[in-house]
Structure 1
Amino acid sequence: MLQHNAELKSKINQLWDKFWSGGISNPLTAIEQITYLLFMKRLDELDLKKQLDAEWTDESYKSKFEGKWVPPELRSTIPDNASELEKIDYRANDEKKHGIDRRDLRWSEFNKKPAEQMLQHVQTKVFPFLKDLNGTESNFTHHMKNAVFIIPKSSLLVEAVKTIDEIFVIMEKDAKQGQNFQDIQGDVYEFLLSEIASAGKNGQFRTPRHIIKLLAELVQPKLGDKICDPACGTGGFLLGGYQYIVTQLALEAGTKDLTPDEDGFIRTSVASTLTLDTQAILDTSLFGFDIDGTMVRLGLMNLMMHGISEPQIDYKDTLSKSFKEEGQYDIIMANPPFTGNIDKGDINERFQSATTKSELLFLENIYHLLSKGGTAGVIIPQGVLFGSGKAFQFVRKLLLERCDFKAVITMPSGVFKPYTGVSTALLIFTKVWGAKDQITKPATEQVWFYDMEDDGYDLDEKRKKKNGFGDLQDIVFKYHSYIEERLTAKELPQWDKAKKCFVVRREEIESKGYDLSFSSYKEVPLYEVEHEEPSIIIDRLIRSEAGSLDDSLLSRFESGLIKELLDLRGMIK
């Protein structure tokens, strides 16, 4: 969407420039501070909308900005044996002494204050309120504990608030023209997050949204599935799974006005068709882990800004000895970091691949995290498909024997530009055998291969959108057609390996050291070509040079191209 909205893109760039000139030049620090402001703005907008919706439907709704708020450090210590009435008295007394009117904490209230007063108000009241938003026991509050509001100048805050207000005005205008507001907001936030790329460390590369949508279409999460990303970053895959489910529920409910986006996918974040029970299920279905505290906070706020009240994103190293979860998740969507080798001393003992390479450990880890019957969609560097080392072969064998390994979709090297030019692939597999199960038969019979040549965007640093969808919709259609054919066919169908996609039997893959690279099985067709006699070809060349001259005249040419051709013809004859 931003590719076609120069005004909105310009405002976002202005926001970055203001932070840069205001002394906050680190992209990760800037995006965190901008996210806090966006979150404050969106919190106010969502609360006002819910109030209006409640009035319209006569439902009860308690505003987050209703009543008094007491900062945690000023709250009384209530004795454990206090009665409910005594607890109420304690809280009432605290509100009387230290309570802050929650209405003053709204964005739409504090953005009217003079510059110096606004900065102090946000630093000392609004931001502490934000950190305490979901109560002292919530996951969000726990991870916001160490968050710091570091905008140093009142002038920067005023300019940032003004620019964000202008951005929301443009977003509202676009929403009235038919685009979903939350989808526009998602585009804006994704554009902001893209700046993290210049920090470019720890292998953390933002996955393009159209690739996330593609992966969701392939694994098809459904309501009630526990969805996980063991290296979630800012929560893009979790949001992608959530949006896919919400869209399917909207379509099932008869929503008619949903149209494909520029990549050919139908998506909505609007939860208006959800019941309270359905929303509660979704709110407790998303689980993410990351080893970067800033990413955890960004992920939490990203999902909360999209209407997910309490995302389960936590600060954990899922490869370490301290991480004990096994067989917990129905869907895993992930793009684990490709950081090379990690500390051998802290690798979880359950891993059997005997490697320190993170991409292999994450693949093995995802197998362990899946429940039986659970499906994973994972992005990996293509080197994992054909690496000849024992660890590479072990992991590929593990997935082919203990999982129904469904698909390998290779992607062109430009998909992750400007972050990296590494060639990547999508893997789709469903867990059949548990880690302690005795295998009676390998779970994989055949693997579907597809060579994505075009993802709908230029493969250079700018990644400009092209006309059409590239191979994206073709992949979705052909993959699900293959899965359907596999379920109904009495015998495994034969596929032409000379084409863009084909199927390879497990036995053939096994015979090649569990190689999963597309090129190892692609067959280049050979065609028999008939050529004219050389003398005939030379005659044609001579005629083209000399026009309609007959042989008696041609023989008079004693030099030049015609003479050389005549000599050559004579040699052949």
Structure 2
Amino acid sequence: MITGELKNKIDGLWDVFAAGGLVNPLEVIEQITYLMFIRDLDDVDNKRAKESAMLGLPYKSIFADEVKIGDRTIEGRQLKWSVFRDLPAGRMYTIMQEWVFPFIKDLHGDKNSAYSKYMDDAIFKLPTPLLLSKVVDSLDEIYSIMSQAQSSDVRGDVYEYLLNKIAQAGRNGQFRTPRHIIRMMVELVDPKADDVICDPACGTSGFLVAAAEYLKEKRKDEIFFNKEKKDHYMNSMFNGFDMDRTMLRIGAMNMMTHGIENPFIEYRDSLSEQNTDKDKYSLILANPPFKGSLDADAVSNDLLKVCKTKKTELLFLALFLRMLKIGGRCACIVPDGVLFGASNAHKSIRKKIVEENRLEAVISMPSGVFKPYAGVSTAVLVFTKTNHGGTDNVWFYDMTADGYSLDDKRTPISENDIPDIIERFKHLDKEIERKRTEKSFMVPKKEIEENNYDLSINKYKEIEYVPVEYPPTSEIMANIRELEKEISKEMDELERMLNS
């Protein structure tokens, strides 16, 4: 978490953009992302030059010599943030617009720049030199405070704080999954050092970032002291797809600010024939869009064979099953309708998960979890792909609190079921004897089958009714008569006052 001076500086940067006429949160974050790329390119180049000098190795800076941009040849050094930031605002604006942005795009094939591929269709939208000058100064102040911070993940925290400013849903039901819900899901599936992780609707890459942080905490020695595993962590462990290029750039930057050098973040329509991934991933973490419906002609045929529908939330479940390896695990968020929907498509995908694979948990979440973005009721499904069954008992949990108020303000509160959910999930053998009146309990597969594979917790939860004793009717009537007399007396008194 970031607090104090750093938070104020970021809020100040946001105000600078607003005063300059840029108020769309996605556009603001996108422009900040570009400028952070450009600043980081200078920092990384300087760092590698120093490391090479210390090791006595040759190193050629990407800013060395002359650089050809369009028809012009210029001195590469002029493209460094540390150089152009000290120029007059008008000159800096011209350099940024005419030289730096084209230079970044032309770095596409340069092995020294992991950032370049995310800048391919970047558009510089800052309208005036004065705004650029103020933004550059603000970013330098933010970087200066970050460099003094004790937290090793201050860069990631800063970027998360920026992302929190995306305060409205996008198209197709896009909205950010709260960080603590993501973390809960990651802890439930407990990623391993050799996992290949994917989010086919990655947005800002929140799930991939949380998985990376978890691995850094729990398996640091195993990954970072093993060359092969570290290489896997940096280059091939994390995979994300999205159809929104702005989100992709922001997601890629989010990964890199959390120390993943080369995440595979790609523009892809996950549900279409464009996505051929099959039996590829050992872990999928996702909150796919679930307000949209698609043109059936655009959907991959093998998904329609499993689940003939236009509903994205059902198609994504079929997709997860296809993309996972045998033994691969999935934790995903679904709207409540998936759990009890009566259509053939709803029933068929639930049956496939329960009968042909191993459904482990259904965690019902309160409707306020996604406020202020949406008030939809959702659940977390946790399952393993087996292709030959394995569901014996399904664990249900009725989450009623997540540590925050369930209104639009989402202020922190003491009630929080998440630690209990994680602890109980790790010891499911102790849940067998729990009663249906408690927050969590087991339901045998046979009972689920008999209920048309209904997975809503209310189908199985038992409510304990406490008998209430009321006074006899004659006593209630006598009380009502007494109240009537009191009212009549007060009305007479009021009438006298008005007539006097």
Specify the TM-score bucket, using the shorter chain as the normaliser.
0.7 to 0.9
Do the aligned residues in 1 keep the contact of 2:9 with 2:142 (CA within 8 Å)? yes
Match of 1:335 in 2: 287
**One-letter identity of the residue aligned with 2:296:** K
For residues 26 and 53 of structure 1, the distance between their equivalents in structure 2, rounded to whole angstroms, comes to 40
Equivalent position amino acid for 2:310 in 1: T
Structure-1 residue corresponding to 2:158: 188
1:376 counterpart (326, 330, 344)? 330
Alpha-carbon distance in 2 for matches of 1:112, 1:144: 24
Q: Any idea what SS the aligned residue of 1:163 has?
A: helix
Distance 1:32 1:64, change over 3 A: farther
Contact 2:63 2:80 in 1 (8 A): no
Deviation at 1:390, TM superposition (A): 1.2
Aligned residue among 231, 240, 248 for 1:296: 248
Equivalent position of 1:93 in the other structure: none
Partner of 1:35: 33
Contact 2:69 2:99 survives alignment (8 Å): no
Give, in whole Å, the separation in 2 of the partners of 1:361 and 1:139.
Answer: 33
| Aligned counterpart in structure 2 of residue 108 of structure 1, from 77, 82, 90 | 82
Query: What's the offset of the Cα at 1:212?
Result: 1.3
Choose 453-462 or 385-394, whichever is displaced more.
453-462
CA drift at 1:109: 2.6
What is aligned with 1:164? 139
Report the alpha carbon displacement of residue 321 of structure 1 after superposing the two structures with TM. Answer: 2.4
Structure 1 position 71, deviation (Å): 4.3
* Superimposed CA distance per residue, residues 531-559 of structure 1 (whole angstroms, 9 cap, x where no aligned partner): 69979x98xxx9xxxxxxxxxxxxxxxx9
* 1:43–1:305 contact (8 Å) kept in structure 2: no
Supply the distance in 2 between the matched residues of 1:106 and 1:275 (Cα, whole angstroms).
34
Letter in 2 for 1:27: P
Amino acid in the other structure paired with 1:422: V
Relative to structure 1, the CA distance from residue 23 to residue 532 in structure 2 (aligned partners, 3 Å threshold; closer, same or farther) is closer
Q: Which residue matches 2:261?
A: 309
Query: Which amino acid in the other structure matches residue 506 of structure 1?
Result: K
Structure 2 residue aligned with 1:321: 273
Deviation at 1:467, TM superposition (A): 4.3
Does the C-alpha gap of structure 1 residues 476 and 71 become closer, same or farther in structure 2, counting only changes over 3 Å?
Answer: farther
Paired letter, 2:315: L
Partner of 2:229: 278
Tell me which residue corresponds to 2:439: 500
Deviation at residue 128 of structure 1 after TM alignment: 2.9
- 1:112/1:418 CA distance change after superposition, 3 Å: same
- 1:64, CA displacement in angstroms? 5.2
Q: Which residues of structure 1 form unaligned runs of 5+?
A: 75-96, 254-270, 434-438, 487-491, 543-558, 562-573
Counterpart-to-counterpart distance in 1, 2:56 and 2:442:
54
Q: In the alignment, what sits opposite 1:356? A: 310
Instruction: Say if 2:192 and 2:215, in contact at 8 Å, map to a contact too.
Output: yes
Q: Does 1:519 align with 2:471?
A: no
Shift of the alpha carbon at 1:59?
A: 7.9
9, 16, 19: which one aligns with 1:18: 16
**Aligned equivalents of 1:68, 1:157: Cα separation in 2:** 27
- The Cα shift of 1:314 comes to 1.1
Aligned to 1:151: 126
Residue 350 of structure 1 aligns to a residue whose secondary structure is helix
Task: Compare 160-169 and 141-150 and name the one that shifted more.
Answer: 141-150
Residues 248 and 69 of structure 1: is their aligned pair in 2 closer, same or farther, counting only changes over 3 Å?
farther
CA distance in 1 between partners of 2:392 and 2:107 (Å): 51
TM-score (norm. length: structure 2): 0.86
Letter in 1 for 2:396: F
The equivalent residue for 2:179 is 209
Contact kept? 1:216, 1:244, Cα under 8 Å: yes
Which residue matches 2:494? none
Whole-Å separation in 2 of the counterparts to 1:525 and 1:142: 58
CA drift of 1:142 comes to 4.5
- Within the candidate set 229, 234, 252, 2:199 is matched to 229
Match of 2:491 in 1: none
Which residue number corresponds to residue 486 of structure 2?
A: none
The answer to whether the 8 A contact 2:108-2:120 is kept is no
Query: Given the alignment, which residue of 51, 67, 71 partners 1:70?
Result: 67
Displacement of 1:508: 0.6
- Alpha-carbon contact 2:362-2:380 (below 8 Å) kept: yes
Q: Which has the larger radius of gyration?
A: 1
* Runs of 4+ displaced beyond 6 Å: 53-56, 531-535
Paired residue for 1:125, among 79, 92, 99?
99
**What is the match of residue 466 of structure 1?**
413
* Inter-partner Cα distance in structure 1 for 2:166 and 2:338: 26
After superposition, the C-alpha distances for 1:389-436 in whole angstroms (9 at most, x for unaligned) are 111111111111122111111111111111111111111100001xxx
Q: Distance in 1 between matches of 2:459 and 2:56?
A: 61
Compared CA separation, residues 55 and 325, structure 1 to 2 (3 A): same
Cα gap change, 1:396/1:533 in structure 2, threshold over 3 Å: closer, same or farther? closer
Deviation at 1:31, TM superposition (A): 1.5
CA displacement 1:325-383 (0-9 Å, x = unmatched): 21111110011011331111111111221110011111111111111000011011111
Alignment CA distance shift 1:464-1:186 (3 Å): farther
Q: Is the 8 A contact 1:336 1:362 kept in 2?
A: yes
Q: Is the 8 A contact 1:65 1:105 kept in 2?
A: no
Alignment check: 8 A CA contact 2:49 2:61 kept? no
**Residue aligned with 1:447, SS:** strand
Residues 1:444 and 2:398 are matched in the alignment: no
- Tell me how far 1:170 sits from its aligned partner: 3.2
Q: CA RMSD in A?
A: 3.1
Alignment match, 1:554: none
Q: Deviations along 1:451-488, whole A, 9 cap, x unmatched?
A: 111111122222222347x1121111110111xx38xx
Mapped to 1, the partners of 2:345 and 2:280 lie a distance apart of 25
Q: How is 1:408-427 mapped onto 2 (pairs within 5 angstroms)?
A: 408-427=362-381
